[in-house]
């Protein structure tokens, strides 16, 4: 939908790491590649399994550490699922709405209008200074609707 070219996205991430003087290790590079390219909102464990294919000695702890580093640098977006598991979007790290299928877990990321207006309304009504938001819609995707 609004995915940029993978190569460009990974360069942004690398630039941010260098700028903040974090080291570029082979493990980090492998994780960045997956996050930059993935359209599928992988979980930490998904990433772990994929990284191990390319770089077998990588540990789960390293994946966790890298993913939270990217989260802090605003280069990855964390989706916290109701079941406790988290998923990550490294392709489009700005907050954006998701539609999540409660059955097959498929996620779509369409652009919606008026989110800024909503944020402004929230800020005005509460006095909060708002930094980011999470907006998730839960339901059945078209395929799972048919199967019922």
What residues are paired with 83 via a beta bridge? none
Angle at 18 between CA 14 and CA 23, to 5 degrees: 90
Q: Would you tell me how many other CB atoms lie within 10 Å of the CB of residue 53?
A: 10
Task: Kindly write out the interface string for residues 46-75 of this chain, putting x where it contacts DNA by CB under 7 A and - elsewhere.
Answer: ---------x-xxxxxx-xxx-x-------
29 or 145, CB closer to DNA? 29
Does the footprint of DNA cover residue 28 (CB under 7 A)? yes
Does the footprint of DNA cover residue 3 (CB under 7 A)? no
Angle at 35 between CA 16 and CA 88, to 5 degrees: 100
* Number of residues in contact with DNA under rule CB under 7 A: 24
Residues in touch with DNA (CB under 7 A): 22-28, 43-45, 55, 57-62, 64-66, 68, 84-86
């Amino acid at each position: 939908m609004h995915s940029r070219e993978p190569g460009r996205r990974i360069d942004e991430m690398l630039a941010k790491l260098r700028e903040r003087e974090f080291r570029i290790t082979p493990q980090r590079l492998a994780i960045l590649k997956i996050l930059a390219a993935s359209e599928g909102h992988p979980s930490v464990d998904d990433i772990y399994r994929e990284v191990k294919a390319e770089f077998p000695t990588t540990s789960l702890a390293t994946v966790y550490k890298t993913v939270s580093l990217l989260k802090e640098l605003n280069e990855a977006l964390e989706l916290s699922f109701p079941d406790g598991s988290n998923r990550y979007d490294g392709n489009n790290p700005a907050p954006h709405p998701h539609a999540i299928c409660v059955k097959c877990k498929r996620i779509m990321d369409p652009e919606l209008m008026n989110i800024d207006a909503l944020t402004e309304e929230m800020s005005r009504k509460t006095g909060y200074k708002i930094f980011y938001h999470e907006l998730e819609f839960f339901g059945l995707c078209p395929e799972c609707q048919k199967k019922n």
